[in-house]
Each structure stands twice: as structure tokens, then as C-alpha cells.
Structure 1
Amino acid sequence: MYDYVVVGAGSAGSALAARLSEDPAVQVALIEAGPRDTAEEIHIPVAFPALFKGPLDWDLDSEPEPGLGGRRAYLPRGRVLGGSSSMNAMIYIRGAKADYDEWAAAGADGWSYDEVLPYFLKSEDNERGKDAYHGVGGPLSVSDGRSLHPLCDAYLAAAEQAGYSRNEDFNGVTQLGVGRYQLTQRNGMRCSTAVAFLHPALERPNLTVITGAVAQRVLFDGDRATGVAIVQDGEQRVIDARREVVLAAGAYGSAHLLLLSGVGPAEQLSAFGIDVVRDLPVGEHLQDHPSVFLNYRTDRESLMTALTGENVALLQEHGRGPLTSNVGEAGGFIQTRAGLAGPDVQFHQAPVLFHEEGLGAPVTHGFAMGACVIKPTSRGRLSLRSASPGSAPRIVHNYLTTEEDRASMVAGLRIVLEMAAQPALREVITGEFSIPASDSDADLLDFARRTAQTLYHPTSTCAIGAVVDPRLRVFGLRGLRVADASVMPSVVRGNTNAPTIMIGEKAAAMIAEELESEGTVR
């Protein structure tokens, strides 16, 4: 019997479980479907694409996407301690101040920018030091990139030649501009939430980490969650929760588990013969960032040949060099039209070819430049495929199905072409690898439909105000919370790992406050 059972040891779950276990009077169980994070490809930053479609990847696919010509999108998610923070590009971005203020204005009390900033700062150990926007001394190392690839220098110079200003800190005064991203790295190696939060907590006697355990459903006694049914090594078990079950399995995983447990749209559940515990819009309002990459050939050395003995020594001895690259080293944020509260397009540049949804081999030296719609108005849905926990859910994002999203994507791609035409990039480009036929709206949109991919940022399937209250408690049920990217009322303008960690931090703080108010903390 545990006080808290946390499902999912990813970006939020690892932080949440580690923080809860700081109180020695609280017994915490953390359930993770995958194994320990021992694979070398996790920790060497540049190697993360090698994890795609491997044993540490949930390897999901969307349903045919109507806005992408009926293509299915590949949806990688981490199945390992650290979750997707163990296989992401390590970019540390919080999003725009307006994102959180919009949440609060819509009824998410306590989630305005000024109210969530302390939880970002609490996690952070930024090598640049402490100021109004950055913290030091937290478990999560945030550092400047150590690869500093010359192809990224050319990209940034071209962006400035095209009229876009440099921004040295996307998490500071303004998000707009171009620059190099700060990363969740420590001494040039990945600093996942498993490394940052979980590893230091593993020796605590009040924290039990259960790996290789697939959650089947949440168990209820009436309207109270009492535990989680799991399968581990082919054996069915029940992990009992004295106080709460907290789902932190991500925008896909948490919503899927709720549906399997009888929490979701009653009509859908009944169609699969699942008893309805609570009728809620679980799985609705799915949001994600669609991204499109243009690829160019070059005669300059790219990351394709980074794996050399010299570079291995640089990594091992100095924590520097090409093997520390997060691939998407540089980029930025812009507003493509007037009247927006924040940026609507984000750029990424990689000093290596990045094509076929990240699954294409870098067959020649080249580089990629991407445009991503970061304030999408398209809404998708996650639903059941069957009542079997072993069946993947049905996922459709409806990428690029609204006029606003198509306009942002077309404008963003046109700017990428404009950057490629600047002297700094013309000097290094030797040919085209994969780009639109022209800069016409029709050709840009056609290219987007044929090549768009996820930027790995699904959110909002258990949103505050729809499925959970501002304290992340599932409406109408006791002893059940959700604490991960699924609770975002809308996706933030930028990479979602840092905001998801913040959600784990804030959830832990709210739970601790409630324990203290009850007088149960010793």
C-alpha cells in the first residue's frame, strides 16, 4: 500500500515522484512501462534519433490525417525512465508569457505566467546564473550548447541578413528573434528528468520505482480511485493507493488509460462495453505542433560524420564537440502577421539532413531548416481502438485543417526559403535535397502536406477546465489527478518539455500543501 501511485516516469512523473518522496512520511510508487535509462543512445545527445522505432519508443502512428493528404504521422514517445525527456532534442523553452496568462484568463486559477514562473525557477540550474528569469541550484541542468556547429552560424547569419534580430535568451524578456537554444544538458550529456530528479531519489526507502510495468486501468471503489492494475513480466498485479493515483503518462498515455478505466465520453465507452465511471471529454481538444523541414546539400562537414574517435574523446574528456549536439541547435520565433499575442511560427535548424519524419538516413552532407506552427487552431482527438489495454489508441491531430494554421505554415516556409537565399547560406549550399517546387502558396502547402511531421508536443487531452480542475483533480472523482502535458488548456508556443516539468513541480507542491493543511506531514 502506497500513499501515492504515479503512473509514468517521464518529464512530469519523474519530477513529481521525486518531489513527493522528499517527505519521508509519504510512500510513493512510480510505475513505468519501460526499463531503466541505461542505453548509451539516451545519454549521448546527438544519438537520440537512433532511439526512434526501437524498444524504448512507444512507436505510435496517427490515423490518416485529413490535412496531410491522408498520410499517417509517426509519433515517437519515450518508453523508459525519463520518458520523452530521454529521447527528445533537449531544447529548454517555456513558451510565451501570453500562453499562461491565457490559461488563467480562461479559468485556470493559479496558472498565470507570474504564478508558474517560480516552479520553472525551482527546477532550474542554469549555467548562466540566477536572474529574474532563471534559477540556479535546482536539479535540472540547463546549459548553452557545446557543439556550436559552423552550419548553425551560417544559418543565424542568414536569418539576420533576412532582417530577423538575434535573441540570446528565448526564456527572457522576449521570445521573438533567432539564436541558439539552451539545452537540458549537464557537461555536454543529456540531463533528462530521470537523471535530474529520479536518479538522486532512487535510494530513498519511501520511493519504489516499478519498471517494465504496463498500467492496464485505474481501479475505483465508487467514485474513489484506489489503485492501478498493472502487468509486469506477464503477471497481473494491483498497486494500491491509500491517498491518490496520479497519471503522468503523457497526452496520449494518460488519456488512453482514463478511457480504459471508464473515465471519458460515455457514448464511446459504452460502445466498447466499458462501464462508465465518469462522463468527461477525455481525449478531446488534442493539440500538437506540426513542423516541416527543408533540406539542402552542402560541401561542409555535417553531423553525418560526427562519430569519430577524436569526437568521442572530446565528449568523454571535455564534454564538448559534435557528439554533444542536440541536432536542432538553432532556431527562433516570429509573428507572421499583426495582431497576435505572441509568435505563431518557430524555426529549427539542424546541421545534418533531417527528413522522412526523422527516420531518413543522412546519406550526404547537408542541413535542415524547419518551420513549425506553434499556436495551432486545429484540434484533434484521441479515442479507443478497442477495450484491450494492449491496443494502441486511435489518434488524429487534424494538422493544418484550419485556414489560420495553413496561413502560418505557408508564411513560415516562405521565410525559410528567404533565409536560404541569403549570402551566408548561399555560400554553403551546393544543391537541393528536399524543398518545395516554388514559393507559391500552392507549392508550399503541397510540400507541407507531403512532408509535415509532429514536433513531438502533444497536449490538452485532459485539459484543465474540461477534465481536471486547476488543482489537476479529475472532475467528479476522488483520489485521482492528472499531471502532465495533457492538462494544458492549450499548447504553449514552444517546446513542451520544460512546461511539462513545471506541471510536475506544481502538482507536487499542491499535493504537499494539501497534506500540510491536513496536518499529515511529519
Structure 2
Amino acid sequence: MSRYDVVVVGSGPVGTATARELADRAPALRVLVLDAGQVLGDVPGGHVKNITDPGPALAGLPSGAAPPPGATPARPGTALVGTPAMPNAAISTNVGGMGAHWTAACPRPGDDEVPGFLDPAVLDEALRRAEELLAVTTHAFDRAPLRGAVQQILGELFDQPERRPVGPMPVAVSVSGDGSLHWTGPAVIAGDLWERENVTLRAGTLARRILIDGDRATGVEVVDVATGDRSVVEARAVVVAADAFRTPQLLWASGIRPAALGRYLNDQPQVMTAALLDDRHVTGDATASVAVSAATTPGGGAIVPLSGVSWVPYAAGRPFHGQVMQMDASPVKLDPGVTVRPGQVVGLGWFCRKQVRADDRVWFDEDAADEHGMPAIRIDYTLTEADQAAIAAAVEELRTAAKALGRPLGEPFVLPAGSSLHYQGTTRMGPADDGTSVCDPAGRVWGTANVYVGGNNVIPTATACNPTLTAVALAVISARALADSLEASR
């Protein structure tokens, strides 16, 4: 039987950030990070776009799984949960979780996306730390020749006093001296973490249940996925950061069942369209011939140094947030004979805020099991009249934006539920144990002394912006509180 101070379940951005912050703040703590999946490529938690030779490990999804529409290449280690209410709900079982596959957009939350019960100064400092851990920048695509034209057009449409203006999307990307990009996966968050004496990453190891004595966790029962061998890891505290579906699943399987567990599921309805930037906007240096395409970049991603990623921020009176990508390798079918400059095809994706409801939920079927023998995941999810109104408004705004940019390439379309991959709320935090939240503002699960949760699933508000930065910031707050508590009790 092994013993640790903290067991962290999940090695995605939040699990890794939690372990990193614990180790930085209290180096003497012994920390174990568990993941049921394996390492993709050579670096634990590396982003797949940084792998120059994908090889068989990145050949595709597990047997029987289907990627979300338009996803290319397929996300290795990722599979659909498989539920009629949310057909594109997906999970990633690999070291790094979805953080090995994400688009790396890291906008800050604004207006009523920010939980009102958190100390603004504490949250602001945690957001700065999260930006540091994720290597967030607004300058990754400064070389994009048409970026300025795109942002000028969108700014003229959407900028208003007292609102955050249209600008470059903050992204978790590092730019080398030659202009090539390195995408942030959890490996970047970790730094030298896995080389430290008191920190261990154990891949291929599933947490089956948290062992509880009274209100205290005493450890975790784990199983080796390859062999089926079971064992127990003792711990002074347990942090579960296993995504918005499997975090509440593990708590449920462990008999930890606050009233709000699995409820308040928040996906962001996603509306998309594309436009061909009008030649009248392409002037000066933007017309320069450039010989770099997506096919020559690591991972074959559609966003390269010559593309731009722009941001139309969320505002309380405007219930969506815009992510605008210039696509050098356009997935949009163009008319024969049409020649475009790099970045001239612009994809627009609007994420809508969804009304937060207790009846939108993930729940667990104790009469059926998933592939790991855990209670099977079920989902209830419905779009309300308010949600439909927000989607309709986003469609109209996208039509306007596409026309302003130049030539619309088809009508805006709504992706199936679950396509955003921005699942939130299922272990939401709150200021009081009143049945509407699962954990306190430090991430400690109500009714327990030493069980913590982290991830997008702790975000309690209706949001439209990409949630990873916020989730990592909340993990920073949680890890610091836990480290201080454990150090004080030695």
C-alpha cells in the first residue's frame, strides 16, 4: 500500500495545475497524479499539434467512437459519451485529457460570467497565475497578414462604450524565434513537475472510488487498466479533476452525493459560419505572397503563424462570445477556380450562454456500467426558450458579421449539443451549503473535510467564453488553500 499527502485524479490542465501549485507552494508534500489513459507521443501531457510524426498512437478514435462533425484530425484518446440529449458529448482518456487536444483559447471571463461571491482581488491574481502557467499571449498571431483588417471590421460592428473591445484572442501558445508555434498542453503547465522527487504521475490507472471514514477521505481504490489489478493508495486529501462527467461519477460511486451533484450541466450552444474576406480589405503587406500552409506545420493544424485568431468578447447584454479564426487550409468548399490568399477564409464561431438549470444534469445508472465498470453516465439536457432566443440572435449577428467581412460562405448553422466541449457546472462551487452547489469557494466538497474538486465543472455561472483559463485559476485558489491546510496540520 502506497501513501501520499494528496492524490489528484486527472492529469488535464486543472489536475496538472493543481499538482504544480501544490508542489510549488509546499515542496515537501508527496503528490500522486492518476490518469486512466496513456501518454500520447513522447511527452506526458504534450499537445498533439506539437507532434511532428503522429504515428499509430494518433491514428484515430477508439473503436466504435465517432469524432464531432468537422473534427480533423481525430482526437486520439477521445470518445463520445453517447447520449441522445447531448449527442456530441465527449471525454478524453489520455494523459493531459482534453488539454492535449484543445484550441488553446484563454479569454478572461467578464461581467456576470464572474462568480460574484469570489474576492475580485484573489480571483484576479489567480487568473494572472493561470495565464502564466498556460503561457497565454495575445501576440502569437501578430504576423497574420489579414488579422488587422478582420479586427477592424468586427470592431466597427460590435465595439461599444463600457464593453471590452474586439481584439486578438488570448491563446496558450508559445512562439519561437523562427515564428513556429508550440501549443500549450498540460506538459507546459507541469514544467519540471514530473521530475521532482515528491511528485509522481501514474498513467493507465483508474480511480474507482474514494475511501471515506466519517467526513474524511483516507485514500483511493485504484485499478491498473491493463491488468485489472486493484490496490489502495492512502492519502491525506483527494482532489478530483477528471472532467464534468467523470468527476461527479467518481464522487457518486464513492457515496459522496451532495444534492447538486451532477446538476446544473452547462454546455455552450455553438453557432458557426464562414466568409471570404473581401479583396477591398486586402491591401499593402496583406497581399504579400506567403509559402507556408497548414500542411507544412506540426500536426497539420489549420491555424498557423499566418492565420489570425480574433476575439469578440462576451458582455452581459450580448449573450455570446465570438472566436474568429482565419483558415489557411479551408475546410469550406469554395467554387472551382477561386484562389484565396493565406488567411482570407474566415471561420466564425459564436458560443452562446446557456440558461443554468438544475434539471440539466448528468446522472449515473447503477444498473448499467461503463467500460471501466463504473456507473454508466446518462445526460438530461434541454434548450429553453431563452437559449433558443440567444441562438437565434447569434445566427443573425453571424450573418451580419459575414456580410461585413466580405462574401458569406453558406448560412450560419448550429452544432449538435455537446460540440463546444465546454461542459461546466456539474460540481459547481457556491458560497453556502444550501443544496445548489457541490463545493465551497476553495473547491472543498460540502460535507467532507478533505475531498476537493476542480475543472470546468466547478464554474457556477452561465458563461459564453472558453472556460479553461477560469478553471485553472479556480484550481490555483483551491490548491493554495489545500496546501496551507495540509502544512498547518503536520
Aligned partner (choices 311, 315, 322) of residue 331 of structure 1: 311
Cα 1:101–1:5 shift into 2, 3 Å: closer
Residue pairs, 1:228-247, within 5 angstroms: 228-232=220-224, 233-247=226-240
State the partner residue of 1:253.
246
Q: In the alignment, does 2:274 pair up with 1:295?
A: yes
Which among 323, 335, 350 is matched to residue 371 of structure 1?
350
Amino acid at match of 2:194: L
Q: Which residue of 2 aligns with 1:86?
A: 100
1:432 maps to what in 2?
409
Distance change >3 Å, CA 41–CA 6, structure 1 → 2: closer
CA contact (8 A) 2:353 2:464 kept: yes
Measured in 2, the distance between the counterparts of 1:151 and 1:491 equals 33
Q: Which residue of 2 aligns with 1:33?
A: 36
Which residue in 2 is equivalent to 1:499?
A: 470
1:208-228: per-residue Cα shift (whole Å, max 9, x none)? 100112222222234432222
**What number of residue pairs does the alignment pair up?**
433
TM-score (norm 2): 0.77
Correspondence for 2:114 among 100, 104, 114: 100
Q: 1:79-478 alignment to 2 at 5 Å? A: 79-102=93-116, 104=117, 111-125=118-132, 140-146=135-141, 148-150=143-145, 152-161=147-156, 163-165=157-159, 176-187=164-175, 188-196=181-189, 198-232=190-224, 233-264=226-257, 279-296=258-275, 306-309=293-296, 323-324=304-305, 329-335=309-315, 340=316, 343-352=318-327, 363-364=333-334, 366-374=345-353, 376-377=355-356, 380-386=360-366, 388-390=369-371, 392-398=376-382, 401-422=383-404, 425-426=405-406, 429=407, 432-433=409-410, 435=411, 447-448=413-414, 454-465=419-430, 466-478=437-449
**Corresponding letter in the other structure for 1:281:** A
Unaligned runs of 5+ in 2: 59-69, 176-180, 280-286, 335-339, 431-436
Aligned partner of 2:66 in structure 1 is none
C-alpha deviations, 1:230-262, integer Å up to 9, x for none? 222222333423311110112112011112222
Residues 45 and 494 of structure 1: CA distance in aligned 2, closer, same or farther (over 3 Å): farther
1:4: Cα distance to partner? Answer: 0.7
Partner residue, 1:12: 14
Q: Against the structure 1 CA distance between its residues 155 and 453, is the aligned structure 2 distance closer, same or farther, given a 3 Å change threshold?
A: farther
Whole-angstrom distance in 2 between the partners of 1:43 and 1:281? 37
The whole-number CA distance in structure 1 between the counterparts of 2:207 and 2:308 is 33
Tell me if structure 1 keeps the 8 A contact 2:136–2:170.
no
Deviation at 1:152, TM superposition (A): 4.6
Given that 1:381 and 1:461 are in contact with CA atoms closer than 8 Å, whether structure 2 keeps it comes out as: yes
Does the CA-based 8 Å contact 1:97-1:113 persist in structure 2? Answer: no
Match of 1:64 in 2: 84
Secondary structure of residue in 1 paired with 2:349: strand
RMSD: 3.6
Distance 1:451 1:297 in 2: 25
1:239–1:346 CA distance, 2 compared to 1 (3 A)? same
Opposite residue 98 of structure 2, the aligned amino acid is S
1:393 partner letter: I
Q: Distance in 2 between matches of 1:240 and 1:95?
A: 37
Q: What secondary structure sits across from 2:239 in the alignment?
A: strand
Aligned-partner SS, 1:420? helix
Is 1:3–1:242's contact at 8 Å kept on the other side of the alignment? yes
Q: Which amino acid aligns with 1:307?
A: A
CA distance in 2, matches of 1:383, 1:101: 25
Partner of 1:417, secondary structure, is helix
Q: Which stretch shifts more, 368-377 or 9-18?
A: 368-377
Distance 1:228 1:286 in 2: 26
Which letter maps to 2:158? Y
Contact 1:291 1:454 in 2 (8 A): yes
> CA, structure 1 residues 416+452, in 2 after alignment: closer, same or farther (shift >3 Å)?
farther
Question: How many Å separate the matches in 1 of 2:232 and 2:134?
Answer: 28
Contact in 1 for aligned 2:10/2:33 (Cα 8 Å): yes
Find the residue that maps to 2:19 and give its secondary structure.
helix
Cα 1:142/1:86, change in 2 over 3 Å: farther
TM-score computed with the length of structure 1 as normaliser: 0.73
- Quick check: 138-147 or 93-102, which moved more? 138-147
Q: CA deviation at 1:383?
A: 0.8
Q: How far 1:175 sits from its partner (Å)?
A: 5.6
Write out per-residue CA displacement over residues 323-382 of structure 1, whole angstroms, 9 at most, x where no aligned residue.
Answer: 357x881230255xxxx4x64211122223999xxxxx6555754222221353455100
- Say whether the 8 Å CA contact 1:343–1:493 is kept in structure 2: no
3-state DSSP of counterpart to 1:419: helix
Q: Tell me how far apart the structure 2 counterparts of residues 299 and 77 of structure 1 sit (CA, whole Å).
A: 39
Shift of 1:413: 1.6
3-state DSSP class of the match of 1:454?
coil
Tell me the equivalent position of 1:482: 453
Amino acid at match of 2:22: L
Q: In the alignment, is the contact (CA less than 8 A) between 1:229 and 1:236 conserved in 2? A: no
Q: CA deviation at 1:146?
A: 2.5
* Aligned-partner Cα distance in 1 for 2:194–2:427: 29
Please state how far the C-alpha of 1:8 moved relative to its aligned partner.
Answer: 0.4
Counterparts in 2 of 1:369 and 1:148: CA distance versus 1, 3 Å = farther
Aligned to 2:484: 513
CA 164–471 in structure 1, closer or farther in 2 if over 3 Å, else same: closer
Amino acid at match of 2:355: P
